[in-house]
Chain A
Amino acid sequence: MMYFETDDLRQSYVVAKNEIRKFIRGKRFTLYVVLIAIVFALTTALPYVFGGNIGETPGDVIASYVSFVNLLIILAATLFAAVTIVSEFEERTALILFTRPIKKTSIFIGKIVGCIVLETVMIALFYAGIAVVSLIAAGGVSAGLLTSLGLAILFTIAASGIAMFFSSIMKKGSTSAILTFVFLLIIVSVISGAISISTDPWFMVDQASGTIASCIPEFLEMTREMMISSGLLTPEQAATLIAAPDLFKASVAMVAWGAASLILSWLAFIRREF
Chain B
Amino acid sequence: MHRWAGVLLALLMNGFLVGQMWVVRGAALSPGPAEAVVVREDEVHRRPVKAGERTVLEVSTTGLLEVVVYERTGDARELEEFRAGRVPRTAKVFSQVRELSYPLSSVTDTEFYVRVRHLRPGETRLRYVPGLVDEAMARLRKGENLVRNRGVVVVEGGRLTMPVYQLVPGTVVRVEVQSGRGVVGLLKTRDYLDVRDGRATVAGRCTPQACVEASSGRAVLEVAVGDYDDRYLVAEGQGLVFTYRVVATPEVLNHISSCT
Q: Do the two chains belong together in a single complex?
A: no
Interface residues of A (CB under 8 A from B): none
